[in-house]
Amino acid sequence: MTGLSDLNVGTLGTRLVNTAAGIAGEAWTNIKSVVAHELRVLAGRIRDIAEAALSGEVSKTGARTLLRVARNNLAATIAMTSVLLLAAAQKLINAVLGEVKNFVNGAIGFKLL
């Protein structure tokens, strides 16, 4: 039977660190990959705009408009990164709190939390 003696803070700490490291590592890898992809795409678009402007396929006014759109997308990508980071932090916090809940309920032997 479990009891209060099972509430080992050291064990809980290790479990929390492992949970956090797993989620944070995976989330950060995903975020990096998504953001890097979007920035590479954006860089390619800006190169296309520059080439089209230099070759005269797009007017200078048109090229400036396209560049403004590319900059809107850059601002959106930065804002998206912030949301992805917050979403990862949210997942991390809730996973750690869930781990605490499981640990305490498991140690006590009934659903306290």
Report the interface residues with another protein, using CB under 8 A: 34-36, 38-43, 45-50, 52-54, 57-59, 61-87, 89-90, 93-94, 97, 100-101, 104, 113
Q: Give me the least distance between CB of 15 and another protein, in Å please.
A: 14
Instruction: Determine the distance from the C-alpha atom of residue 16 to the mean position of all C-alpha atoms in its chain, rounded to a whole number.
Output: 19
**Which CB atom, from 5 or from 61, has the smaller least distance to another protein?**
61
Cβ-contact 35, 74 below 8 angstroms: no
Q: Give me the least distance between CB of 37 and another protein, in Å please.
A: 10
CB atoms within 10 A of CB 103: 19
Cβ-contact 39, 75 below 8 angstroms: no
